[in-house]
Amino acid sequence: MAVQTPPRTTSSPPTTTAPQRPGPPWTEKWGGLFFVAPFGVLFAFFLLWPTLSGLWNSFFNTSLAGVQQEFLGLRNWQEMFGDPAVWASLRNTLVFTAMSTPPLVVIALVMALLANRQGLLGWFLRFAYFAPFVLPATVVTLIWVWIYQPGFGLVNGLLTAGGFAEIDWLNTENRAMLAVVITTVWWTVGFNFLLYLAALQGIPEQVYEAAAIDGASGRQQLFRITLPLLSRTTGLIVVLQLVASLKIFDQIYLMTDGGPNYATRPIIQYIYESGFTSYRIGYASAVSYMFFLVIVIVSIAQFRLFGGRKEADR
């Protein structure tokens, strides 16, 4: 990078707005590339290459064990479309996304409204609401598996103390996903909360003062001013959250390992299991690609949906 020292000629007038100035023609033309190069090389190696080699692998029966490699054509893809486990895990991923996104948005909003302009108390509230977000997935799941434990866990302890029946959260098919969602909301709502808080703090005080002078009640201020002004932030949060939720893996793998009876296994775990546990790199690559396409479609759809709105809001 130290090559980047073109002798500057101070002769040219400094006030021209166009930055293109006569220098050695080679560096002027190509010099910019040097700035992009370090990132570009890493990008090529660790993003572009695996993206392409993954596609390539999906046409072979590549094995982690490094044994025979044969060209399969589209057979991995055919197998995938007929593999119920692919669709079941894709469904689990979508169910998780659908279950987790609404509370992650609504609770974040409520938290932001509660914590906004609370003075000294604000520090404590921000800490409490956001703290879980800085914990690693493993710490979160160790704590929550312990909390959900039948017999001596906190949740069941509270349930039995209140005279209710115990629930074996993580080993019951229709409870396990709910348990994971509760944990996820606890863990990650803090990020959305901060986004809302920043947006709330960006609303000028005068708006409320003017409304108060006009006799608007607190409730009216909330529904007529605050929420409409937050709509752009809400759009942003929903977009970020949907894509983040689709990539679910950590919590589920660590809490239920996809069980019971695969009722919570997300698509990324199926990719992991096919590729590494069962050695089937080629097949896992095909599934990865299918999921990649799903994410791209969702992202583009959102971009269309919310991108348009964003422009209109400006």
Per CB under 8 A, contacts with other proteins among 114-143 are 114-115, 118, 121, 123-139, 141-143
Q: Tell which residue, 225, 260, 244, 255, has the closest CA to residue 299.
A: 244
Q: Which of 78, 201, 220, 231 binds other proteins (CB under 8 A)?
A: 201
- x-marked contacts with other proteins along 206-245 as a string, rule CB under 8 A: ---x--xx----x--------------x--x------x--
Residue 165 interacts with other proteins (CB under 8 A)? no
> Tell me, what amino acid is at 232?
R
Residue 103 interacts with other proteins (CB under 8 A)? no
Residue 163 interacts with other proteins (CB under 8 A)? no
Q: How far apart are CA 229 and CA 227, in angstroms?
A: 5
Cβ-count burial 205-243 (b if 16+ within 10 Å, e if not): eeebeebeeeebeeeebeeebbeebbebbbbebbbebbe
Phi, psi of 157 (to 5 degrees): -60, -45
- HEC secondary structure over 66-95: CCCCCECCCHHHHHHHCCHHHHHHHHHHHH
Question: How near is the Cβ of 227 to other proteins at its closest, in Å?
Answer: 16
Question: How near is the Cβ of 12 to other proteins at its closest, in Å?
Answer: 9
Number of neighbouring beta carbons within 10 Å of residue 90:
18
Question: How near is the Cβ of 99 to other proteins at its closest, in Å?
Answer: 19
Number of neighbouring beta carbons within 10 Å of residue 164:
10
Q: Which of 95, 103, 150, 216 binds other proteins (CB under 8 A)?
A: 150
Which of these ranges, 98-106, 154-162, 223-231, 306-314, lies near other proteins under the rule CB under 8 A?
A: 154-162
Question: How near is the Cβ of 57 to other proteins at its closest, in Å?
Answer: 6
Structure tokens given for 251 = 């919590």
Question: How near is the Cβ of 108 to other proteins at its closest, in Å?
Answer: 11
Question: How near is the Cβ of 98 to other proteins at its closest, in Å?
Answer: 19
Closest CB to other proteins among 102 and 276? 276
Only one residue has tokens 């800490």, namely: 127
Residues in the chain: 314
Number of neighbouring beta carbons within 10 Å of residue 248:
22
Residue 10 interacts with other proteins (CB under 8 A)? yes
Residue 49 interacts with other proteins (CB under 8 A)? yes
**Binding footprint of other proteins, residue count (CB under 8 A):** 129
What is the DSSP secondary structure assignment for residue 185, as one 8-state letter? Answer: H
Number of neighbouring beta carbons within 10 Å of residue 202:
10
Residue 73 interacts with other proteins (CB under 8 A)? no
Residue 43 interacts with other proteins (CB under 8 A)? yes
Residue 38 interacts with other proteins (CB under 8 A)? yes
Q: Which of 54, 88, 159, 229 binds other proteins (CB under 8 A)?
A: 54
Q: How far apart are CA 155 and CA 151, in angstroms?
A: 10
Which residues, 251 to 280, sit near other proteins by CB under 8 A?
Answer: 254, 257, 259-262, 268, 271-273, 275-280
